[in-house]
Chains A and B, each alone.
Chain A
Amino acid sequence: MVRVRARSTGPLAEVLAAVASGANTRVEVRRRVDYPDDVVDAALDHLIRTGRVVDQPLTVGCVSSDCGGCPIATRCGQSLPVSTATCQL
């Protein structure tokens, strides 16, 4: 039988509070929120999907279709593993 914990706020509220207070990675949010990682991830995904938290991938490609004078503009959209944030470094 599921034992319900008494809490003043739920996972969504706690995750949102953690992000608002500066936790900007999943690892950090998990560290700050006292719920199982699986629950934290699900709550975070829900907040991202509903637009309450912006998800910024630091993976591949340029940030905009208009890369202006970007020296690696021709690489945009290709599989070069250049992070979004640092594609110009």
Chain B
Amino acid sequence: MTSQAAAASCHGVAPSIDRDRSKPTIALVGPPNVGKTTLFNALSGSRATAGNWPGTTIDVAHARWRTGAQTAEIIDLPGAFSLDPVSPDEELTRSLLVDVPVDERPAAVVLVVAATRLSTGLYLFAQLREHGLPLVIALTMSDVARRRGALIDLGPLAESLGVEVVAVNPRAGTGVDALAAATGRLLDAPSSARKALAAPGSDPDERFQWAADVVEATVSQADESRPSTTDLVDRWVMSPVVGPLLFLGAMWSVFQATTKLAAPLQELTGSLVSGPLARAMHALLNAVGLGHGWFERFVIDGLIGGIGLLLTFVPLMALMFALLAMLEDSGYLARAAVVADRAMRAIGLPGQAFLPLVIGFGCNVPAISATRVLADARHRAMTALLVPFTSCSARLTVYVLVASMFFPASVGNAVFTMYVASVALVIAIGFALRRTLWRALGEEPMMLDLPPYQVPHLRLIADAAWARLRGFLRTAGGVIVVAVAAVWFLQAVPVHGGHDFGSVPVRESAYAAAAGAVAPVFGPAGFGDWHATGALTAGFVAKEAVVSSWAQTYATQRPTDPHTPGSLAKVVRADFHRSSGGHQSPAAWAFLVFVLAYTPCAATLAAQRREIGWRLAAFGLAVQLVTAWTLAVAVFQVGRWFA
């Protein structure tokens, strides 16, 4: 579509084109983005008019063009890659060139070919020649091709094609007169005098083979042996062996830097929340007459204890999001996605499934929505079942909390291990599903368009990191507040007599009773303690709730001393020590593995039900729970044996 045509169509329905049939028609044809419209503007000057082609809504511009001795009408046809149309634009181009009766065909065709994409133009040329259309070639972008080291020998090219080839630069206006002269000669020549050349063949592969032969004979690549810097870097970054190792190294560095740099900030935030903030709130509630009651305990132990602990992760999340945004903006993460894609293909997973799975490492809910990019329903179902095993950023809070309590010297390594375990789990479960449920799953060939490498932009990194951090804060301020209130309510309800609502010790509350009923199930995994199982149950709502409910539970055990909630690590370690028979480290690993593998959150379940139906969603839930429990037990039992 021409610029004039575009302008016309922007202001409502453009008028139908009114052609001058008394003059010979010349069709300007070419693939999109070869400079065809720029050339048309250079040829027609300001004399062009535009409008809908009769019977269509496609804009076509036409103008008078002086070609040698005569004036012709030149029509700028819509861009087309071939005469086998895949769009209405290409349909119109084909119909005007070859589907019309022979006497209504253009008197000549100016085929615009970009020197930077010679083969694409030659393919179209081959088809036009098959239909016997009189042709002249306008070769654009020769300067760009030259800068890239490609030199096209016009003489041999014209000889190979049997038509005149004119190099033009429509922006500079060079070659335009030569093109007019060549077109004039074509119009003047009797059809019998035109060179008759055999068509390369009607099969697309034969046409490309012919184009390849022409390119090899007429194009010389000046610096073919010198790959670009991007190619050199990509050779290592996307190598089947070095690529995954580099990716693991990059992620390890991210987690190391995140946990090490954020630790002091986290500590500072924690002391602010549990110290001055809790004290200020205590004083405020006393001042308004709401102190020393269930409401104060809800605010201090519930909201400040639960959500406050969660908020201590804000510096850590911000740092990690910023580092990942930096890797992403640099163009590296897209390369990592290519490496991941290759790994999945190697074990028989559909290549396209990598996209939602990688998204799942941020949040599982949109990742399940992203399975819609897969055309095959079975691909969608299988991928949606795998997404919950990708370790979302919410689980990171649990990893960091548990690792800092049990392995304070190597938090980064522990978190990194969990992410590697997540990838391994996706591959293993995918492999199992492929070998059992979806044996006949086909694969669609896929190409990935890589962005170029670039120096990361500070503002964009901050923008991306803030956008994600805001999502984390929104969760903490929304669903987690509800979860905290629900947990607090259950902890306030006594199951035995002798206590009032809100003043019952948590171990005698409905919460402890319910969690205690589930706890024995986790005995073989080393964390069969009601504190841990209560937190895991709350984690069904969202993984951040594991952290908040844990903090609530232990804070509520000291209702008389809200100012000094004590060391959470100390009491959690003591409970794990008790429940694991002295093997607290294997129990902590088992707990982490369970958090990784069991249902991420209620929203993920809802997304699964929406995308793949409740039957498969229920099946997925069962797979998650069975996998999580089995792995947790295995990790604890093996770990205990080694310990």
B456 nearest in chain A by CB position: A81
Answer whether A10 and B120 are a contact pair too, CB < 8 Å, given A19-B445, A70-B366, A71-B468: no
Asked if B458 CB lies within 8 Å of chain A CBs, one says: no
Answer whether A89 and B328 are a contact pair too, CB < 8 Å, given A3-B217, A70-B471, A71-B474: yes
Asked if B560 CB lies within 8 Å of chain A CBs, one says: no
Asked if B223 CB lies within 8 Å of chain A CBs, one says: no
Q: Contact between B363 and A70 (Cβ–Cβ < 8 Å)?
A: yes
Answer whether A66 and B369 are a contact pair too, CB < 8 Å, given A42-B117, A43-B208: yes
Q: Contact between A80 and B464 (Cβ–Cβ < 8 Å)?
A: yes
The contact of B355 among A9, A47, A56, A71, by CB within 8 Å, is A56
Contacts of A29 in B (CB 8 A): 447
What are 27 A-B contacts defined by CB distance under 8 Å? A2-B217, A3-B213, A4-B210, A11-B211, A19-B446, A35-B212, A36-B216, A38-B118, A39-B119, A39-B212, A42-B119, A45-B81, A56-B448, A57-B448, A68-B366, A69-B363, A71-B469, A71-B471, A71-B472, A75-B463, A75-B467, A81-B328, A81-B457, A82-B328, A83-B334, A86-B362, A88-B362
Within B319-343, the residues touching A (CB, 8 Å) are 324-325, 328-329, 333-334, 336-338, 341-342
The contact of A58 among B118, B211, B451, by CB within 8 Å, is B451
Q: Contact between A53 and B446 (Cβ–Cβ < 8 Å)?
A: yes
Contacts of A42 in B (CB 8 A): 117, 119-120, 122-123, 208, 211
Contacts of A16 in B (CB 8 A): 445
Contacts of B86 in A (CB 8 A): 49-50
- Closest chain-B Cβ to A52's Cβ sits at a distance in Å of 7
Taken residue by residue from 1 to 41, chain A's Cβ proximity to chain B (1 for < 8 Å, 0 otherwise) reads as 11111010111110010011010111111000001101101
The contact of A64 among B362, B370, B446, by CB within 8 Å, is B370
Contacts of A13 in B (CB 8 A): 205
Q: Contact between A54 and B328 (Cβ–Cβ < 8 Å)?
A: no
Interface residues of B (CB under 8 A from A): 81-82, 84, 86, 116-120, 122-123, 150, 156, 159-160, 204-206, 208-217, 219, 221, 231, 234, 238, 324-325, 328-329, 333-334, 336-338, 341-342, 345-346, 351-352, 354-356, 358-363, 365-370, 372-373, 444-451, 457, 460, 463-464, 467-472, 474, 603, 607
Contacts of B206 in A (CB 8 A): 10
Q: Contact between B365 and A68 (Cβ–Cβ < 8 Å)?
A: yes
The contact size tier of chain A is 35 or more
Contacts of B204 in A (CB 8 A): 12, 46
Answer whether A54 and B447 are a contact pair too, CB < 8 Å, given A11-B205, A84-B355: yes
Contacts of A19 in B (CB 8 A): 445-447
Q: Contact between B208 and A10 (Cβ–Cβ < 8 Å)?
A: yes
Contacts of B472 in A (CB 8 A): 71
Q: Contact between A64 and B373 (Cβ–Cβ < 8 Å)?
A: yes
Q: Contact between B445 and A53 (Cβ–Cβ < 8 Å)?
A: yes
Q: Contact between B362 and A71 (Cβ–Cβ < 8 Å)?
A: yes
Contacts of A28 in B (CB 8 A): 238
Q: Contact between B451 and A56 (Cβ–Cβ < 8 Å)?
A: no
Q: Contact between B460 and A53 (Cβ–Cβ < 8 Å)?
A: no
Q: Given known contacts A27-B231, A68-B366, what 4 new A-B pairs fall within 8 Å (CB)?
A: A64-B369, A67-B369, A88-B362, A89-B358
The contact of B447 among A26, A66, A82, by CB within 8 Å, is A26
Answer whether A82 and B341 are a contact pair too, CB < 8 Å, given A56-B355, A71-B362, A87-B359: no
The contact of B334 among A47, A52, A58, A62, by CB within 8 Å, is A58
Answer whether A46 and B208 are a contact pair too, CB < 8 Å, given A4-B213, A71-B363: yes
